[in-house]
Amino acid sequence: MIVTATSLSPMKFTQSARLQKKFNDLIPGGAHTYAKGDDQFPEGMAPYIVKGKGCRVWDVDGNEYIEYGSGLRAVSLGHAFEPIINAAATQMKLGSNFVRPGTIELECAEEFLSIVEGADMVKFCKNGSDAVDGALKLARAYTGRDMVGICSNHPFFSVSDWFIGSTPMNGGIPDAIKNLTTKFNYNDLASAEKMFSDFPNQIACVVLEGEKMNPPVDNFLHKLRDLCHKNGAIFILDEMITGFRWHLNGAQKKFNIVPDLSSWGKALGNGFAISALAGKREIMELGGLSHGKQRVFLLSTTHGAENHALAAAIAVIKFYKENNVIERLYEQGQKLEDGVMKASRDLNLQDKVAILGPPCCSVYTCQDQYNQPSQPFRTLFIQETMKRGLLMPSSIVSYSHSDADIAETVEKIHETLVIYKKALNEGVEKYVKGRSVKPVWRRFNTEFPID
């Protein structure tokens, strides 16, 4: 039976509403990641999660959701995935951090480098920003240059000043640091050539993902790498998202390209805090002890080699090697895309709500009556899917999403699209309850800043 909007059991957010003020009183922004902020969810519908299992999560009010987003892409296997948490728990009982390296650090390094072809060394850390920052520091030390070129079409690389200074959310960043970062466009070699021409002998490296929404065309990655080397710059691939989703060996394997350095994280620990910087020995060794050059203070982190996180990473890599995880991510993502696109076409909304990007890591669009991206319509979509038990800020699947989960999701999205179509005809303001969600990258919290 198709559930209609009027027959829905209303979700309650009483406990979440009570917690919201406390969260914001004690934590700037109310969350430790901006993508999890209150402003990313409809007003009065910002749930606080207490547990998860597989692809489902439960909030403090007892509401159950099928979750899409996979912990901001970090939980590719599923929440509380037993092979991973068992490995971490076993290691915890042996100790998590010592005054000298644990033997598990070597075991994890060997396991990790077995899947990163072309990389000779690895340094572990706790989050993606650390790994990318380490790559940038090595590139600057290796080349003796200060500037970095980043891909303008890729939204995030680091929390550090060199990157945040290039975004609208650049409060507190000195102009001197902002001026050290320049941009080029993906699949646009001419823009990269102009970048090197505008800043001759100044660019230490370029940083980009192997793929985002669109694949590289005309050997773009290879030509960009060659352009970097021709101009004396380091070629860095950010595998934070593409690693363990596009291919076990990363986008670099899928597109058959070997970067000088690459940064990894997110799905590497299936939710445990671990990231990695890998690369060629001649560059990585600048952070070591066996050279006579100026020392580079590279990723000296107290918790970078936390033993139970390394155990989780080893277990993740082994599980991927022994099971068809990548294939399943593509398969389930494709089933979701097919179902949602059919629902959109049935209602003649295919130009308004669509699934884009690789099936292993897709996003959905929310367009208005003029076919323009719309925060109010995105708010409506999230609002109506949440009412129906979907926590869906994106359409990213995990290994734990079953065929039944996908089918249930598609049915509920079809119901949501019926409301969406009414809003297009009658006005979205009639259906959205409260303020709209907002983009993370914005200069001020409100439209008119308070002096």
* 448 part of a folded domain: no
> Looking at the structure, do residues 239 and 299 belong to the same domain, yes or no?
yes
Domain check: are 233 and 101 in the same one? yes
| Domain assignment of residue 156, yes or no | yes
- What is the tally of structural domains in the chain? 2
Query: Residue 9 has what pLDDT?
Result: 65
Q: Which of 274, 305, 336 is the last residue of a domain?
A: 305
In a domain, 174, yes or no: yes
Domain that holds residue 132: 97-305
The reply to whether 451 falls in a domain is no
pLDDT given at position 10? 78
Residue 108 has pLDDT above 50, yes or no: yes
pLDDT at 450: 42
| CA 378/CA 3 separation, integer angstroms | 22
Distance CA 208, CA 151 (A): 5
The 3-state DSSP class for residue 120 equals coil
Give the 3-state DSSP-derived string for 393-437, with helices as H, strands as E and coil as C: CCCCCCCCCCHHHHHHHHHHHHHHHHHHHHHHHHCHHHCCCCCCC
* Same domain as 273, residue 165: yes
Average pLDDT over the chain reads: 93
CA 283 to chain centre: 26
Same domain, 109 and 195: yes
Confidence of residue 4 (pLDDT cuts 50, 70, 90): very low
340, 364 in Cβ contact below 8 A?
Answer: yes
Residues 291 and 333 in one domain: no
For residues 334 and 292, membership in a common domain is answered with: no
Q: Is the pLDDT of residue 117 over 60?
A: yes
Q: Sorting pLDDT into bands at 50, 70 and 90, what band is 302?
A: confident
pLDDT tens, position by position, 118-154 = 999 999 999 999 999 999 999 999 999 999 999 999 9
| Residues 6 or more apart whose Cβ sits within 8 Å of residue 28 | none
**Shared domain check, 165 and 298:** yes
Question: Closest by alpha carbon to 257, among 285, 237, 279, 276?
Answer: 237
Residue 242 lies in a domain: yes
Same-domain status, 274 and 404 = no
* pLDDT tier at 445, thresholds 50, 70, 90: confident
Q: Are residues 103 and 206 in the same domain?
A: yes
Boundary of a domain, candidates 270, 305, 340: 305
CATH number of the CATH domain containing 104: 3.40.640.10
Task: Report the CATH number at residue 397.
Answer: 3.90.1150.10
90 falls within a domain: no
Is there a single domain that holds both residue 135 and residue 219? yes
Confirm whether 416 is domain-assigned. Answer: yes
The answer on 113 and 67 residing in a single domain is: no
- Are residue 101 and residue 52 in the same domain, yes or no? no
- Predicted structure pTM score: 0.92
Q: Is 274 helix (H, G, I), strand (E, B) or coil?
A: coil
* CA dihedral of residues 156, 159, 160, 164 (deg, nearest 10): 50
Taking a C-beta distance cutoff of 8 angstroms, is the pair 84, 267 a contact? Answer: no
